[in-house]
Structure 1
Amino acid sequence: MTAPDPVRAGRALGGAAAGILVLEGLATLFVPRGIAQDGDGLAGGELAYLLTLAVVLVLAGGIQRRERGVLIGTALQIPLLLTGLLNSVMWFVAGAFVLIWLYLLQIRKELLGSPFGAPRAAVPDDGDGGAATTP
């Protein structure tokens, strides 16, 4: 099944992907608070990793209109999941975000034909099963 208007569906799915990445960035900013409650403290490298990841996730949300935006967002799911090494609760939070991202990729595949490809304009149908000829 493909969307009747793949370009419009691609824009809508890009907006959803951008929203998910921004929410992931915000959730990453809560990790230092969780680590502070453990009593172990937060090392400078851990804080730099978390802040950098949060900024990169938000910036990746801004490039979801570009052709490689979804691919970059997919690659960022791995470092997000690895925040579980810093705080065990993040295994569940990041895991939920990864599952949402995988669901988004599945919907992109169903509506656009490819989870990573750019949406293509629908070819008009002239009713006989073939593509319409242009005058």
Structure 2
Amino acid sequence: MTAPDPVRAGRALAGAAAGVLVLEGLAVLFVPRGIAQTGEGLTGGRLTYLLVLAVVLVLAAGIQRRPRGVLVGTALQVPLLLTGLLDGVMWFVAGAFVLIWLYLLQVRKELLGSPFGPVGVAVRGDDGGAPGPTP
């Protein structure tokens, strides 16, 4: 099944992906509070890793409408999942976000034909761009 208007579906899915990445960035910013209360505590390296990851996730949300935006977002799921090494509860939080991301990729594949491919360009005909009859 493909979307009747792939451009519109691509924009909607890009917005959803951007929203998920921003939420992931916010979740990563809550991790230092939990790490500070553990045995080793919050070291400079851990704090730098978390802050850089949070900033990169938010910046990746801004490029979701570009051709490789979804690929960048998918690659960032790995370092997000690795935050579980810093705080055990992040295995569950990051795992939930990874499952949501995989669901978005599946929906993108169903609506656009490919999880990472470019969004098709709508062709404007004599009917003013209205969708044609379904076969």
Normalising by structure 2, we get a TM-score of 0.89
Identity %: 80
Q: Secondary structure of the equivalent of 2:37? A: helix
Which residue identity lines up with residue 119 of structure 2 in the other structure? P
Instruction: Quote how far apart the aligned CAs of 1:121 are.
Output: 3.0
Stretches of structure 2 that go unaligned for 5 or more consecutive residues are: 126-130
Normalising by structure 1, we get a TM-score of 0.89
Q: Aligned equivalents of 1:39 and 1:15: distance in 2?
A: 39
Moved more, 77-86 or 31-40: 31-40
**Partner residue, 1:98:** 98
Q: 1:6 to 1:32 in 2, by over 3 A?
A: same
**Partner residue, 1:46:** 46
Instruction: Quote how far apart the aligned CAs of 1:9 are.
Output: 0.1
**Partner residue, 1:4:** 4
Q: What is the number of equivalent residue pairs in this alignment?
A: 128
Q: Aligned equivalents of 1:126 and 1:100: distance in 2?
A: 33
How well do the aligned residues superpose, as a CA RMSD in angstroms?
Answer: 1.7
**Partner residue, 2:81:** 81
Instruction: Quote how far apart the aligned CAs of 1:35 are.
Output: 0.7
Q: Secondary structure of the equivalent of 2:40? A: coil
Instruction: Quote how far apart the aligned CAs of 1:58 are.
Output: 0.1
Q: Aligned equivalents of 1:113 and 1:121: distance in 2?
A: 13
Moved more, 42-51 or 115-124: 115-124
Q: 1:126 to 1:103 in 2, by over 3 A?
A: closer
**Partner residue, 1:71:** 71
Contact preservation (8 Å) 1:4, 1:122: no
Which residue identity lines up with residue 105 of structure 2 in the other structure? L
**Partner residue, 1:26:** 26
Cα displacement string for residues 42-80 of structure 1 (whole angstroms, at most 9, x for unaligned residues): 110110000000000000000001000000000000000
